[in-house]
Amino acid sequence: MSCSHHFHSPLGGITLAGDGEAITGLWFDGQKYFGTTLGERPTEELLPVFKDADRWLTLYFRGEVPDFMPAVAFPPEASEFSRAVWELLLKIPYGKTVTYGELARDLSAQRGGARTSARAVGNAVAHNPISLIVPCHRVLGAGGKLTGYAGGADRKEWLLRLEREHA
């Protein structure tokens, strides 16, 4: 079952995808890689998990740190590598940032020291299908440089400023 739901944020429309139990996608409308897990003909339906996501997003955009996490499910066709990167994203605290290189080192340590490329990590981060809730916007380039974000650099900067102001 593929369902969708829309949320209106201060940064524009957000489309969510769900499978009935979990959020499987969250994108700013029109962003790069939009709808990768949405399915061909999703039904527009306000599932309980969408209500949880709406509550989470409302708190987040008010500058509050949500004290819960809506259920999320990564696409089954995603690589083990991408899933591992996305799991690391979930560990980045609100108001904090990490670099692609730091994520690569963390992933290398998890994998028994096997070298991991920051570029490969960056590709997985860029294809994160559940923006905001899985906080890919908290990842920066080397030296803390603000780098690409599928939702747009302006949005990334806004989100990081929001979090810094309320952390």
Q: Are 45 and 25 in contact (CB under 8 A)?
A: no
Q: What is the pLDDT of residues 26-77, one digit of tens each?
A: 999 988 888 777 777 778 888 999 999 999 999 999 999 999 999 999 998 9
Q: Which of 125, 131, 160 is nearest to 53 (CA)?
A: 131
Q: What is the pLDDT of residues 91-111, one digit of tens each?
A: 999 999 999 999 999 999 988
Report the amino acid identity of residue 10. Answer: P
CA–CA separation, 46 vs 25, rounded Å? 15
CATH 3.40.190.10 holds for 80-166: no
> Per this entry, what is the length of the chain?
167
Q: Which of 124, 143, 142, 144 is nearest to 134 (CA)?
A: 124
Q: Which one is the CATH code of 3-61: 3.40.1390.30, 3.40.50.11540, 3.40.640.10, 3.30.160.70?
A: 3.30.160.70
CA–CA separation, 124 vs 85, rounded Å? 7
Q: Which of 130, 122, 131, 124 is nearest to 99 (CA)?
A: 122
Instruction: Provide the annotated active-site residues.
Output: 136
Query: Which pTM does this prediction carry?
Result: 0.93
Fold match flag (3-61 vs 80-166): no
Domain spans of the chain?
3-61, 80-166
3-state class (DSSP) for residue 13: strand
